[in-house]
């Protein structure tokens, strides 16, 4: 299996139990790609609204940075293990669309719990449920998109998909910040009231995401493989792909949740703006990050189709390490400039665009089609475990020592992961 998988890096391999598909759509922007993009836009509209106001919500509830990092890390870890299991089940049974629908349905359910939270337990439960749904749908949706297009068009299709995904991440937080500013002038029982109001409204696009995927997306290839065994499939993955997972994992150990980036901006700006205004500005900076991401995602995909996905991904990883270095310097010099923070969020948007558009694309180039969803799930698992270590570690180090130490360690780990990926690229 390993030899055949490695030989398939440059050609579209046969689907298990079938001949290689002879007639995939010639256009990369077909109904399935467009439908998956619309669904992702609505899904991100739902949960990215939470991401942008969650640090402020925790601030008014009196919950420290260590708890935010731990909650985000646990949620990422749950999503990562779910990706592995869902990818394996899909490759084994071929039932992908139903699982994706379930995954999208869990996101608004988790949002409802977060809106009701008065402390960290219900907040953790809601975030875990939402991220469980995210992990359930991610590899299967990506596999559906990959198998709906020609291999030479993957970069463009995923660039478009990530652009649509991020469009929701721009519009949702924009509306969320605007509603937060509007609602704070109403009469509430406590200062958390405006946040709960925005969180409750975010459930609506989450429900619409389920309906969009149900009606617009067609799973192009059902490829059941009832003989597939998880451990055997993982052992049989190509050696080069395993080295790739190692580099991704080490980089991910420094790739902290960007909820902490929002919290960092909030803290740096609070002295000059006050906590409520600082939270709104930090939220807008996150929106700016998402605007950058949605703008460059498709050009990144086109560039990857021309130059190769792996070299472009390496460049993106370099930008990721630079983001952590610059944030550490911002705390070191106690720089509370909005312009300076906008620059850091700009670089963060660039590297996230590359990372999210191309990690699955590189995976598809390295593995065979009959274990594609399992391989993407393995990628998600590695990312989730490493991001749990990163988010929890950065939050704890931030609270125990300083944000300079936290972001400095993150930068070091991301740099080593980038060097490993660069070595893989040279070979």
9 in a domain, yes or no?
A: no
pLDDT at position 6, please?
A: 38
What does the pLDDT read at residue 260? Answer: 86
Q: Which residues of the chain have a pLDDT value below 50?
A: 1-23
pLDDT of residue 101: 92
| pLDDT tens profile 68-112 | 777 777 877 787 778 777 777 777 766 688 889 999 999 889 988
Find out whether 252 and 387 touch, Cβ atoms under 8 Å.
yes
* pTM tops 0.85: no
**pLDDT score at 8:** 37
List the structure tokens of 392. 């929890």
> Is the residue at 16 inside a domain?
no
Q: Is residue 393 part of a domain?
A: yes
CATH code of the domain covering residue 147 = 1.20.1250.20
232 domain-assigned:
no
What is the C-alpha separation between 412 and 426, in angstroms, rounded? 21
pLDDT-above-90 percentage for the chain: 28
- Domain that includes residue 394, residue range: 28-214+237-426
In a domain, 134, yes or no: yes
Is residue 318 included in any domain, yes or no? yes
State the Cα–Cα distance between residues 57 and 154, nearest whole angstrom: 39
From residue 137, alpha-carbon distances to 120, 121, 174, 378 in Å are: 26, 25, 25, 14
Cα–Cα dist 195/54, whole Å: 8
- The verdict on residue 6 lying in a domain is no
Whole-number pLDDT of residue 223: 59
Query: CA torsion angle for 99, 103, 106, 110 (degrees, to 10)?
Result: 150
Do 160 and 302 form a contact (C-beta atoms < 8 A)?
no
Q: Count structural domains, the chain.
A: 1
Distance CA 61, CA 57 (A): 6
> CB-hemisphere CA count at 13 Å for 123?
21
Query: Does residue 231 belong to any structural domain of this protein?
Result: no
Query: d(Cα 411, Cα 208) in Å, to the nearest integer?
Result: 38
């Amino acid at each position: 299996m390993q030899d055949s998988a490695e030989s398939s890096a440059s050609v579209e391999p046969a689907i298990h139990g079938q001949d290689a598909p002879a007639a995939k759509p010639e256009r990369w922007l077909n109904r399935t790609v467009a439908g998956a993009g619309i669904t992702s836009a609505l899904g991100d509209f739902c949960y990215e609204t939470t991401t942008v106001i969650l640090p402020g919500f925790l601030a008014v509830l009196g919950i420290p940075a260590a708890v935010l990092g731990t909650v985000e890390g646990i949620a990422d870890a749950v999503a990562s293990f779910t990706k592995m299991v869902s990818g394996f089940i899909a490759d084994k049974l071929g039932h992908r669309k139903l699982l994706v629908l379930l995954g999208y349905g869990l996101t608004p359910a988790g949002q409802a719990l977060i809106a009701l939270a008065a402390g960290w337990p219900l907040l953790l439960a809601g975030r875990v449920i939402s991220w469980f749904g995210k992990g359930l749908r991610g590899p299967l949706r990506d596999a559906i998109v990959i198998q709906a297009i020609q291999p030479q068009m993957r970069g463009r299709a995923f660039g478009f998909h990530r652009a649509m995904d991020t469009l929701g991440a721009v519009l949702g937080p924009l509306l969320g910040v605007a509603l937060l500013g509007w609602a704070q002038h109403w009469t509430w029982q406590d200062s958390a009231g405006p946040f709960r109001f925005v969180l409750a409204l975010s459930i609506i696009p989450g429900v619409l995401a389920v309906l969009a995927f149900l009606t617009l997306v067609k799973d192009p290839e059902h490829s059941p493989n009832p003989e597939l065994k998880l451990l055997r499939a993982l052992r049989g993955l190509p050696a080069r792909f395993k080295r790739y997972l190692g580099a991704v994992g080490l980089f991910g150990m420094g790739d902290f949740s960007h909820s902490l980036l929002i919290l960092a901006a909030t803290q740096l700006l609070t002295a000059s703006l006050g906590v409520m205004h600082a939270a709104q500005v930090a939220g807008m900076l996150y929106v700016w990050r998402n605007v950058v991401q949605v703008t460059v995602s498709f050009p990144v995909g086109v560039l990857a189709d021309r130059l190769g996905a792996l070299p472009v991904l390496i460049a993106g990883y370099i930008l990721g390490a630079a983001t952590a270095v610059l944030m550490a310097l911002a705390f070191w010099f106690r720089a509370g400039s909005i312009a300076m923070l906008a620059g850091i969020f700009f670089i963060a948007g660039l590297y996230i665009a590359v990372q999210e558009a191309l990690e699955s694309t590189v995976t598809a180039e390295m593995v065979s089609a009959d274990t594609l969803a399992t391989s993407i799930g393995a990628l998600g698992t590695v990312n989730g475990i490493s991001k749990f270590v990163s988010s929890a570690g950065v939050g704890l180090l931030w609270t125990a020592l300083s944000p300079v130490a936290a972001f400095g360690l993150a930068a070091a780990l991301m740099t080593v992961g980038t060097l490993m990926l660069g070595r893989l690229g040279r070979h």
